[in-house]
Chains A and B, each alone.
Chain A
Amino acid sequence: MSRISSNNEENPVLDTIAVWLYVLLVLIGLISIYSATSEVNQSFQFSLSSVAGRQLIWIGGAVIIILTIAFANVAFIDYFAYGFYAFGILLNLAVLFIGKEISGAKSWFGFGGFGIQPSEFAKVATALAIAKYLGTYGIRFKGTRSVAITMSLFLLPMVIILAQNDTGSALVFLSFFLVLYREGLPGWILLSAVWLVIIAIARIVMEATGISHLWTMGVLLFLASLIVYFGRKNRQLIIATLFVAAASIVFSTAVGFAYTKILKGYQRDRIELVLNLKQDTRNMGYNLEQSRIAIGAGQFVGRGFLKGTQTKMGFVPEQHTDFIFCTIGEEWGFLGVTAFFAIYFGLLYRLIILAERQSTNFGRVLGYGVVCVLFFHVAINIGMTIGIVPVIGIPLPFVSFGGSSLWAFTLLLFIFLKVDEKRR
């Protein structure tokens, strides 16, 4: 699985496959941003003050970041990991007091005409800090102390960013849970978390649509009795199953109570909207429908470059940032989307391979940190444009318009690629 060039200590080089996939994604992003912000059938016009022009400037900045990392010393990165982390935390605290408020979130530093979003860089700092901590000699991800420290490392920035009222960015930090699984976090904890989410959603759907919640219990008991029947020789399994079933019922009842008795009407409305239980064609529901129309209108080969009216005419919200995937879907169709998936998931697979070939815990944890953060963004971002995931405002890394996110993800990826280049 190793590449000759990157294995060669004499001629160290960043992983070529990953770099090329990155370049492709950034270019696709630039083209899509240009298209999403141009007029229909307009002849080619480009200026640095346009949205695409500004993205080009951000890309220029990203190239400088890449070159800097390429000539930096890995030891430096390792050495200052906690320093970065502390700096990141401080910046995110500072923005709470001196930041600019943009659409309800106080998460931007304004510098004249443009802004920097420190929460994007907190992701990089957190990935580094966790890698550093778990990579420290003698630390094993076992025992209350190490688990508590690891979790605090990403829960702390998450809480601060929640305080900035930027829920989307805060949720991203949950992706570090996925990293911990590779380091030994018991699988049942993740599975339980998933299971509890399913139970909670099911209960809310039933409360909202008026289906008797007895169904939940019925289905649960039916599943439990199936497991008990087929596993009747295994006493441990029976006990575990009965415990899970009982716990689920208790949890479901608690959710039901909280939903109907504790939450206020407008809070319930918001949840029901996200779960698609309420029609709201004017606002959020309208946006979701427009996003689906954009992608659906692409059909097999797409409507063609610069011909995506859904995005250009402003029917899709945030067409060049969070909903940039709509432009790809509308203009390049199923063929284009498939190619795009191949590139994006190709990069993620490649990063798993790179992470697995690390000889240090630091390298591996950092690698999985990159994979999980990117994966979380892709899954949430594309999922919301196609109506699978509720709308959570986070960018599509490397593709969405925006300097902070492009620079932060470039930093994240290339620090890891540099670590990978210098692995022993």
Chain B
Amino acid sequence: MDIHRNRRFVYVGLLTLVSLVYLIQIFRLQILDNNYEQKAINNALNKIPIYPDRSIIYDRNGKLLVHNIAMYDLIVFPSKAKGIDTAGFCEIMGINPDDYTKYMALAAENSKKRQKNNVFNGSAVFMSNLSKEQYSAIQENLYRFPGFSVEPKTDRLYAVKGGAHMLGYLGEVSKKLLAKDPYYRPGDLIGITGIERTYEEYIRGIKGVKTVWQDRTYTERGEAKDNEFNSPAQAGPDFYSSIDFDLQEFGESLLSNKRGSVVAIEPSTGEILALINKPDYDPNLLVGEARARSFRKLLIDPKKPLYNRAIKGVYPPGSTFKTVMALIGCQEGVLKQNTLHGCSGGYHLGSLTVGCHPHAAPTDLKGSIGISCNAYYCQVFRDIIDNPKYPNVKAGYAALEKHLRSFGLGSKLGVDLPGENNGNVPTIKQLDKRHGKSWKSSMIISLSIGQGEILLTPMQMANCAAIIANKGWFVTPHLVKGIGANKYLPDEFKKRRYTTVGELYYDWIIDGMEMVTKPGGTAVGTGIQDMVVCAKTGTAQNPHGQDHSLYIAFSPRENPKIAIAVIVENGGYGATWAAPIANLMIENYLNRGKEPKRPDMLERIRTSTVN
């Protein structure tokens, strides 16, 4: 009767088929594909960064230099910020509607990018570094603008007005870095130059993360506690700089209304005690909402206040270079303490004349430094590279070049600041190009007195002073004294780097340097009573006008505490500006707390303008 009874199996079969096909598909989703759980987490968890305080920066004596102040970013979830009363918003924030459109478009783009990268969800910076007025205005009115929120972060607050080039400044992280380093979000502040840049990875601290549940509309649905993503923010460790800020400020006051640079180094450690450039700027200009505006102004200022001459500027070292030349002459065996060379108003060779100022001649090694005889060093230079122990002049020059490079010249010293210049020690190739293949010592003789192709940064000059103070070695100059409670110091700032000149010869040269501030020396009259300064003046001719005034020095002679180089651009004789500045600074550093012995000189330098 029921002829279709067997059709029940078709139903059973159909049910079985469908349930199996579905289970297989579910198996694929749940077991074979492992991406879905992560996608679900990325959907529902919003990781909100907690900004740490940047390191507090102190000087070597524990003086506070830089600390932090709370700042606020205005954050937006672009997809949630719909139907905003734009006009009201713009009025409150003091921006115009075009800015609103621009900011929103940028935020939307960043938001999309971040969602794509699964780094953070949804939110993006709309405006960073709100002014106090903007912050209080928007805080009261946030309820009117769905999708907007305010996130705290910190900005720099400077306890001092100087030290700009060594401290560096912060700026918004660049697009390039954003693409490379997922640690940063658009609008983050990051060290752009100075210590802030070099030690960014220590100073920035470690961002924390607060995770919150968020639904499809980016509405927060409570804090997500106890998960692997949550972490507290860790402030950057205290940063102790090697700088002696009292000395720094003192030096800055001396160099005011002049163009130039001062670098002071503690010879035994390589610690930089002062790093001064003029013109400079007040670091307080580059914080908060005024940052971008001030920066643009400084950037186009024809006086170049942002320019860090101490490590980027290159100058002919002039006569200060004679100290190095003398050391190499001794090492090469062509110069002894009692070597005498005459001077008849200069050095004459055929049609070549290198002039010299009038002084008693002949001089020995010590006298040649004290009085700074040009002819003496022309002779020493020729003796070095025309030395018969070398087959030709180029081999002689190669020996000279090797010695020079051992003084850290012609290449970056490795200072812990970005953008250091190499300076220049001419290579044989360079000389070939300049003077033709078959040049002679006479053609490059101006190198002997620190002119010509030789160029040094003020940092390299100060380092030469430190090398002489140490009698043959130096530690790479650096601005870090110690980071954090353990006073961490990178290994490269613990190593001694030796020159190729033997220790004995340094004493011979120092004997000469000690004479410089004494009667008969080139810087007589700039010395300070009861203070032994070993120094060398320099007056560097340059194509930019009046000669540069140069001076390198260290003190005291035994266990030197400070080595210094001073350059006053277009300042004329070394003894005029550079020598008094350096000597006053040495006095300030060594006789801290005592009355200055040369108030007249101090006053004159402070109040003078050099153009």
Contact = CB atoms under 8 A, between A and B. Distances in A.
Same complex for A and B? Answer: yes
Interface of A: 39-40, 178, 181-184, 187, 290, 292-300, 303, 309-310, 312-315, 329-330, 333-334, 337-338, 341, 345, 348-349, 352, 356, 368, 371, 375, 379, 382-383, 386-388
Contact of A386 (B29, B43, B215): B29
A295 B15 contact: no
A352 B8 CA distance: 8
A116 to B, nearest CB: 30
20 contacts: A181-B10, A182-B8, A295-B36, A296-B30, A299-B34, A303-B37, A309-B43, A309-B45, A313-B43, A313-B215, A314-B217, A334-B26, A337-B30, A338-B23, A348-B15, A349-B15, A368-B11, A375-B14, A382-B22, A388-B21
Interface in B4-36: 4-5, 7-8, 10-12, 14-16, 18-19, 21-23, 25-27, 29-31, 33-36
Nearest to B43: A315
Contact of A182 (B4, B27, B34, B45): B4
Given A299-B37, A341-B23, A379 B18 contact: yes
Contacts of A183: 4
B443 interface: no
Interface residues of B, number: 41
Interface in B547-565: none
Contact of A39 (B35, B36, B222): B222
B40 A297 contact: yes
Contacts of A330: 40
A181 B35 contact: no
A309 B23 contact: no
Among A309, A337, A387: residue with most chain B CB under 10 A? A309
B111 to A, nearest CB: 15
Contact of A300 (B4, B5, B10, B31): B31
B30 A333 contact: yes
B499 to A, nearest CB: 66
Interface of B: 3-5, 7-8, 10-12, 14-16, 18-19, 21-23, 25-27, 29-31, 33-37, 39-41, 43-45, 213-217, 221-222, 224
Given A330-B40, A345-B19, 20 more contacts: A39-B221, A182-B8, A292-B29, A293-B40, A295-B36, A296-B29, A298-B30, A299-B34, A303-B40, A309-B40, A309-B45, A313-B216, A314-B215, A314-B217, A315-B40, A337-B23, A337-B30, A345-B15, A356-B5, A388-B25
A277 to B, nearest CB: 19
B27 A334 contact: yes
Contacts of B14: 375
A76 to B, nearest CB: 26
A329 B3 CA distance: 42
Nearest to B25: A386
Chain A CB within 10 Å — which of B30, B34, B44, B224 has the most?
B30
B108 to A, nearest CB: 14
Contacts of B44: 40, 309-310, 313, 315
Contacts of B5: 356
A310 B30 contact: no
Given A40-B213, A313-B214, A345-B19, A386 B7 contact: no
Contacts of A298: 30
Contact of B221 (A40, A338, A345, A383): A40
A293 B213 contact: no
A379 B36 CA distance: 23
Contact of A310 (B11, B25, B43): B43
A292 B23 CA distance: 14
Contacts of B3: 184
A184 B2 CA distance: 10
A386 B29 CA distance: 8
B218 to A, nearest CB: 10
Listed residue (B11, B18, B35, B37) with the most chain A CB atoms within 10 angstroms of its CB: B11
Contacts of B27: 334
Given A300-B31, A334-B31, A40 B39 contact: no
B531 to A, nearest CB: 73
A375 B22 CA distance: 13
A303 B15 CA distance: 29
B30 A334 contact: yes
A40 B5 CA distance: 51
A296 B36 contact: yes
Contacts, number: 124
Given A314-B215, A345-B19, A379-B18, A329 B26 contact: yes
A276 to B, nearest CB: 14
A40 B224 contact: yes
A313 B222 CA distance: 11
Contacts of A368: 11
Given A39-B222, A313-B221, A296 B25 contact: no
Give the 4 A-B residue pairs with the shortest CB-CB distance, closest first.
Answer: A296-B36, A309-B44, A297-B40, A296-B29
B11 A388 contact: no
Given A299-B31, A345-B19, A352-B12, A293 B215 contact: no
Which of B10, B12, B44 has most A Cβ within 10 Å? B44
A341 to B, nearest CB: 6
Contacts of A356: 5, 8
A126 B11 CA distance: 20
Contacts of A295: 26, 29-30, 36
A330 B44 CA distance: 14
A403 B216 CA distance: 27
Nearest to A352: B11
Contacts of B40: 293-294, 296-297, 303, 309-310, 315, 330
A383 B22 contact: yes
Contact of A297 (B37, B45, B214): B37
Contact of B36 (A182, A292, A300, A334): A292
A183 B11 CA distance: 12
B147 to A, nearest CB: 16
Nearest to A344: B19
Contacts of A315: 40, 43-44, 215-216
A40 B40 CA distance: 13
Nearest to A292: B29
Given A40-B221, A388-B22, A349 B215 contact: no
Contacts of B12: 349, 352
A358 B221 CA distance: 54
Nearest to B214: A313
Which of B7, B33, B34, B40 counts the most A-chain CB atoms under 10 A from its CB? B40
Nearest to B12: A352
A158 B190 CA distance: 67
A219 B15 CA distance: 29
B31 A182 contact: no
A334 B44 CA distance: 22
A361 to B, nearest CB: 9
Nearest to B29: A296
Nearest to B37: A297
Nearest to B30: A334
A298 B39 CA distance: 12
Nearest to A141: B4
Contact of A375 (B15, B34, B215): B15
Given A309-B44, A329-B26, A341-B22, A314 B4 contact: no
A103 B224 CA distance: 34
Contacts of B215: 312-315
A184 B217 CA distance: 53
Nearest to B10: A181
A94 B387 CA distance: 119
Contacts of A383: 22
A295 B27 CA distance: 10
Given A295-B29, A298-B30, A315-B43, A371 B11 contact: yes
B271 to A, nearest CB: 54
